[in-house]
Structure 1
Amino acid sequence: MMTVLRIVLVLIVAGFAGGHVWAQDLEPRIADMVSEPAKEAMPDTQVPEDEFERGTPRTAMEAYLRAARRGEFERAAEYLDFRNVGEDVLAIGKPALAEDFFQILDRTLWVDLDNLSLRPEGKLQDGLPSYREALGKIETRHGQMTLLLQRVPRGDGVSIWKVSNATVARIPELSEEFAYGPLGQWMSDHVPRISLLNVPLWIWLLLLSLLGTTWLLIWLLINALLRVGGSHPSPVRQSFNDLLRGPLCLMAALVVSGQFVAVESLGVSVAAVLRAQTLWLVCWAWTLNGVISLLAEIYLQRHKDSPTGLVHALLRPGATVAKSIVVVIIALLWLENLGFSPTAALAGLGIGGLAFALAAQKSIENMIGALTLYVSSPVKVGQLCRFGTQVGVIEEIGLRATRVRTLDRSVVHIPNAVFADMQLENISQRERIAYRPAIHLDGRSLPQSLVLDELLTQMRQVLNEHERVADDVVRVRFKAFEHHALLIDVLAYVDTTDYNDYLEVAESLNLALLGCVQKAGVRLASPMGVGAE
């Protein structure tokens, strides 16, 4: 479990460190060098055995860097050639010289291990003497200088590779030029010697503090400027403000921090960490998602008076899909920066597509259900509908579920696949509302049948004369005999789609019909079969 966690941590942090740091952290893969013609072939001669792995230029430099990163400078000094070096240089101390040389490399040069030879004799056609090999070139105040490795005798007749004594002799001069400032030196002396991705812990702390402080200051400045626009911005203005406070603020902090590193020259590895493409990819993904949200909000505000169109209904889930596509593209670019092939990643997605489809079967069903709801549009956002035994207003049709606010003001989330298969009654689409009161008369209170006939006529007259009742369908009929009651069937339509308006009209009709019943001297039947007085 710990191994998995370490691998995940390395992958995440290596992405922030950039491709060069990633390449340095991995040991050379000899099989890859054999298979790729651009890389050096396997050596024909036998590599001499050495306790410190100094048989070839590459293994010697790799072992030196490994020891230096661990803080083992006594061991790291074994990779420097101190022959014919002045006493003033040796007086500094061999471990101290090994540490200073490591600091010089960290601040001036990427050590490309793949460019160093794996042969015991080194590169023979690089324009240098056969016993030397170039480690790299650095810029100093006196001009360009080549750092050298040199093949030297070990003392038992075996030749090994070390940092050239010509380079060692200039370590004090280079250390003075590329030394850290007072703050850096103090932190280097007092912070534990821990390295993450070849960068000392104290530099990580300094960078994080710098980036965090810069971000905070820019964020406060942006907020101060945005407050001028008012404390209650519109939704579009709020989306724009979020874009400024979030990714654009981070981009500005990265630019300022990058300038600070360039001025302070904390080292090439630190500059690579700060200017890592992964951070910029994160910013771009964040920015593009913010722009998508802003454009969606602008469209919603411009068409808020007509929210029933298909484009309007598809806007929010469409924006979610667009954001997902942006994230996938950024992830593929991130993999490419780490050295992985996006083509291989896409092929892997194709192979795992079936397994993913099976695992995400319900999610896919819900997405198809959402598409069905958008295309067929049995109900739309803002409409009142009856689904199953409940009634509510559609608030959102998402990719996974439909959100409905019921008449009890509670919120119900129904999976789209289930909601699309339900019997949906769109109450908002009715052009008028039916008026169907249940009237049960007590048959024992009727003195004669003519009274009932006159009562039905009076009820029809009330409905026909009401200005809010449609005159094309008005029905008042003696429908059936029930136990201890006579059923009067009443049907009319109120010319309104507003339910509150309908209740007001229904109330006036109920009072008028009740007056007709009372005027005829007839009682309403009670549920227990006894006439209501």
Structure 2
Amino acid sequence: MNSLFWLVAALLLAVAPAQGQLLPESKKEEAPAAPEWPEDSLGRRTPRGTVSGFIQAVANENYTRAAHYLKLDRTLKRKRGGPELAQALQRLLDVQGNIYPYSRLSEAPEGLVEDNLGPNLEKVGTATLNGETFDLILEKTEGPKGAPLWLFSSQTVQRIPLGFEPQESELLVDSLLPVALQENKWGGVPIGHWLIILLLAVLTYAFAWFVTSSLLYLIRMIWPKAGEEPTEGIIKAFALPIRLYLAVWIFVAASQQIGISIIVRQRFSEVTIIVGLAALLLLLWQLIDAVSRFSERRLTRRGNMAGVSAVLFFKRGIKIAFFAFGFIVLLDSLGFDVTAGIAALGIGGIALALGAQKTVENFVGSVTLIADQPVRVGDFCKVGDIVGTVEQIGMRSTRLRTLNRTIVTIPNGEFSSLKIENFAHRDQFLFNPTFGLRFETTPEQIRYLLVELRSILYAHPKVDPEPARIRFTKIGADSLNLEVFAYIHAADFSGFLEVQEDILLRMMDIIEASGTGFAFPSQTLYLARDKGLSEEKGKQSEEKVRQWRESGEIPIPNFDYEQIQKLRNTIQYPPEGSSVKDNEAPV
């Protein structure tokens, strides 16, 4: 008893420290709450806010405010004035600098973490001075209460020459403008800059159109296949997107070279992003159209209308997906928060998928039918327990015309999962009758029939001789059974019935000539008027079997190869007297 007490006590002591250690660990796992900083009046909490605020300040010619976006240590403040440095940075950006579009700048307080510049640095553009290009870097500093403030780094500010004045060759736009368009300003920029950049957009597109049209003409001259499908459709699909990309690239480069103000260029930077995105989506859109048109024509020539329906469905689905993707990216480029929208689309997509399970199942089934092609329009088949001819394979269901001339519609999801037996592609037809002979038939008569009936199979031109056979298979309750197994060559079921009819008639003649006959059902009563069996014919067949036996030529259990070759095609088919000529017989 004492030992049990001490064991329980030891367990309690072991558990108690463990519980004491779990509580602090659970506190450590709690995620720290995100700090809430007061809004910065200058919008410097994020890299995008800093760049946007600086551009807005210089547009308003408020260089004192613009200086607050520069990181100025005591040395810089003492040697250089903040407003003068802000104005010099604007002049440098006007003629020899470039800032990324706002959509490429981070809107998070921590900036872009994966840009390989460190946690407190952010690249926002480039500038060129004395032939040397350097990066424009923002640096994250701590403001009041540890709040982040993004400023142009001191290294970037030190590269700015105080009192910088562009050269005359860099002020091409100002040299072209009259005094009135230079003195009158809109948005902090001479009106002439706005007019020139609009004119530049038109000229660059016209130049890009000339270049791409000339290139297309040369391609058609050099490459003959350029005028054939699908090559022609693919080349046309690339024409307009390449023209837009070329126009945007020339526009951006030319606007910087002729000295368009950074304020104007930054306003148009989002437009260039949107045009580039539109060119990419347009390229994909036109490629889908070109490929789908080519596929539709090929499938139409083959008569595969179900495939055409699938192509059209896929084309519409992909286009809707591209449109949704482009719309989301466009909203993101314009500064809208699309996270909630994407989440809503995801939830809506799940709800739509759950509500359209049967529709999706039928669509997948139709894709399976088109890809695997177990049946085609016009095929005679058996699907489950339904027998009929396929009349239509749609995107949702398949229609069969039954033997009763009714229409059965089967959803493709169910159709693709059923057992399908297609009769339309048979290369041969099975001929497998069983002849039940009377019990009075003698063994010699059976031997005679085995030989003669088998001879018909080997001699008939429409019967495949390889698996052809006839065997005495069973002594039944009311008959002696001979089973025939052979394959008949025929183009269709109607041709098979013709050949089968001919063979059955010939075999009936052989059975009658043997002196026996077909068995009656056991329930049939024999009447006195029954003539019975022909003794004369029975003796004739027995005599012939005797002769075969004496000469050692009885072909049982099998014919030898030479006998089969002698018998091949010795039967006239169609039979003599038939109105069907030889060349009209079914193949």
Higher relative CO (Cα under 8 Å, sequence separation at least 6) belongs to 1
TM-score (norm 2): 0.35
Which entry has the higher C-alpha Rg, 1 or 2? 2
